[in-house]
Structure 1
C-alpha cells in the first residue's frame, strides 16, 4: 500500500506538468514564430501531449480516481478550441463529377537512395497511375529521366535548368495559367495552376514550406547537439512565417474556387496552419478518419494538408498509411462544388 501511495502522487505530478503544457499549447496558433520562435517548436509535440493526457485520463478512470478531472478538463477545452487529433467517423461519398485531388511528398523519388529498394521510383509512379487522381501535387519532386506519370497536363518548377529538384502539379484537366512564388533564400517554394473543369476555373496551390530537416532515426534528429537543433528549428519556423505571408498575399486576389495542397512542415496546432486554413475547409477534418498521420514518426504528426474554399463539399478523405515509399504518406480527397 505504501508503494501505491508514492506512485499516485508521482503520476499526478507528471500528469499536472503534461496537462499544463497541453493547455498552454492551445495558445501557440496565436503566437507568431517571429515573436517567440522557441515556443513554436512545441507545436510539433502537441500530438504527444494529447496522447499522454488521454493515457492518464484512461488510467485514472480505471482507478476511479478524482484525478480523472485534470486531463478530462484540459482535453475537453481542446475539443472546442483546437483541431482534432482523432476523427471517429468519415465520409465515403463518390460522385462521378468529383474532383479527385492528391498531395504527396515523394522525397525526390528516392534519388539519394534512403530506401534500399532500387525500384522505389517506379513504384511511386505505379501507385499514382493506379490511383488515377484528377490532380496531384508533388513536393520534393525530382525531374528524373524515368519520369512516368500518366496525366496529360503538368506544371513543373525546379530550382534551375541544371538543378532538377522542386515542385510539380499534374492534372487531367487543361491548365490555363500557372506560376511560382519563388521563396527567397530557401530550397522550398509554392507553385499554383488554374485548371478548367466543366466551364469552372479552379486554382490549385502546391505549398512546401521551409523544411526542418528532421531525421527521426538519428539522435537529436540528425543535429550534433540539442542546442544546435533548437536553433535550426527556430530559424526554420521564422522562414515559414514570411513564406506563409507570401502565400496569403498571393491568394488574396483570387476569389474563385480554390484548393491548397502541400507539406506545411508544421502541424495543425501551429500559427502557420491557422493562417493558411483561415476561411477554408480542412479535408481531413471534414471527411477523414483516425489521426490523419502523414509523417512516418512514432506518434501521429499531420503535416500534409488539403484545404479548400468554404463553398467546396468534401466527399471523401484518405491517408494511404500502408504506402511506405517515402517518409510521408500520400493523401487524397474527393471534392465537389
Structure 2
C-alpha cells in the first residue's frame, strides 16, 4: 500500500470519526428532555458531553488548521449544546446588593474521610464559620464509635439548629445546620436506595424559606471502573467484555433511579407554599434529565453569578459540575464560589442569595 493510499485511508477515518463524534455530541444535547428508562443511549450521551465537547473543539481546530470544511460538523455539535455550555462556563461577577443576604453552602463531605479523630469535621466547620455561612447542607456524612454524632454536632457549634435524619440503612446520610430556627422538617426517602433528601422550613426574621438537601443516586463509576480493571487482569478479553456490559447496566440503572428520585423532589417542590432553596449532590450534569426535572423554574446559582469553568467533582479531569444550589425566581443571586479542598472528592459550593429583588 502506497503513501497516497494510506493518506486516503487515514483521511477517510478522520472524517468518519469527526462525523460520528459530532452526531453523538448533538444527541447529548437532548438528554435533558429524555427519561433514562426510555432513552438510555441519549442519557449516556448527555453524561459524556464534557469530554465529547472538548474532543469536538480539538477536532475543529485540527480541520481549521488543515483548511478543510469538515470543521463545520464539530462546530455544529458545540453550538447545539450552547445551553449546556452556559451551565458550565460563565463570565458573571458578584453583585452589590443592600438587601438581606443569606449565605448558603452545600458540600458532599465523603464521610469526613472516615476519620476517627474528627480532624476533617473540625476543619470544615471552622471554614464555614469563618465564611459566615448561615445554612449548611452536607451530604454523605458519617460518624462512628470513636467520633460520634455528638462530637460532629459539637464541631458545628456555630449552628444551634441541626437536623440529620437516619436513612433506611440505619445510618445518617445528610444534614442541615442552621444559624436560624428550624420550625418544621420532612425526610424524603428514595425507593430502593440508601440515598435520600429532606427539607427544613427555616424562619429568617419575618420570612420562612424551605431548604432542600438532596443526595441523588451515585453513578457507581469508580467501583465499576475498578471492577473492569480487576476482570481484565483475571479473565482477559472475556472479563473485559463482561465488565463493560455490567458497567453499562449499572450506569443505566442508576440513571433511572436518579430520574425517579428527581420526580420525587420535583413533586415536593411544587407543593411548597414557601420560597425554595435546593442544595445537593445530584450526581448528574446540567445536561441531565435529573438536573432539569429538579431545577424547573428555579435559578441556578452558578448560571446567575458564577465565573469561569464550573466543576464541582475533583475526579475525571475536573470536568463535571454535579453539585448545585438552586433557588426561587423571586430571589437574587449575589455571589457564587466553589472552593476545592482535600477534605473530599467534591468541591464545596457557597452562594450568597438575597431573598427578594
Q: TM-score, length-normalised on structure 1?
A: 0.89
How well do the aligned residues superpose, as a CA RMSD in angstroms? 2.6
| Contact in 2 for aligned 1:90/1:316 (Cα 8 Å) | no
Q: Is the 8 A contact 1:83 1:268 kept in 2?
A: no
Alpha-carbon deviation of 1:210?
1.2
Match for residue 155 of structure 1 among 163, 180, 184 = 163
* Mapped contact 2:167–2:195 kept (Cα < 8 A): no
Aligned-partner SS, 2:200: strand
Report whether the alignment pairs 1:28 with 2:31: yes
Q: How does 1:222-237 map to 2 (within 5 A)?
A: 225-237=243-255
Q: Helix, strand or coil for the counterpart of 2:308?
A: coil
What is the number of residues matched between the two proteins? 331
- CA gap of 1:183–1:121, structure 2 versus 1, over 3 A, is same
Distance in 2 of aligned mates of 1:40 and 1:226: 17
User: For 1:1-337, what aligned pairs fall within 5 Å after superposition?
Assistant: 7-79=10-82, 81-82=83-84, 84=86, 86-93=88-95, 95=97, 97-111=100-114, 119-143=119-143, 144-145=147-148, 146-147=151-152, 148-149=155-156, 150-159=158-167, 163-215=170-222, 218-219=225-226, 225-299=243-317, 300-321=319-340, 323-336=341-354, 337=356
Instruction: Say which SS state the counterpart of residue 159 (structure 1) adopts.
Output: coil
Shift of 1:27: 1.6
- Gaps of at least 5 residues in structure 1 are none
Post-superposition offset of 1:138: 0.4
Report the 3-state secondary structure (helix = DSSP H, G, I; strand = E; otherwise coil) of the residue aligned with 1:228.
helix
What SS is found at the alignment partner of 1:158?
A: coil
Is contact 1:83–1:269 with CA below 8 Å preserved after alignment?
Answer: no
Q: Name the structure with the higher helix share.
A: 2
How far apart, in 2, do the equivalents of 1:222 and 1:334 lie? Answer: 43
Find the counterpart in structure 1 of residue 235 from structure 2.
none
Query: How far 1:285 moved relative to its partner?
Result: 1.0
Deviates more, 1:101-110 or 1:248-257: 248-257
SS at match of 2:218: coil
Tell me which structure has the larger Cα radius of gyration: 2
Give me the whole-angstrom Cα distance separating, in 2, the residues matched to 1:273 and 1:206. Answer: 14
Secondary structure of the corresponding residue to residue 69 of structure 1: helix
Instruction: Please give the alpha-carbon distance, in whole angstroms, between the structure 2 residues aligned to 1:234 and 1:67.
Output: 33
Pair 1:65–1:39, CA change in 2 (3 A): closer
Give ranges in structure 2 of 5+ residues lacking alignment: 232-242
User: Using the alignment, how far apart are the partners of 2:227 and 2:115 within structure 1?
Assistant: 21
Q: In the TM superposition, what is the alpha-carbon distance from 1:207 to its structure 2 partner? A: 1.0
In structure 2, relative to structure 1, the CA distance for the partners of 1:29 and 1:204 (3 Å cut) is: same
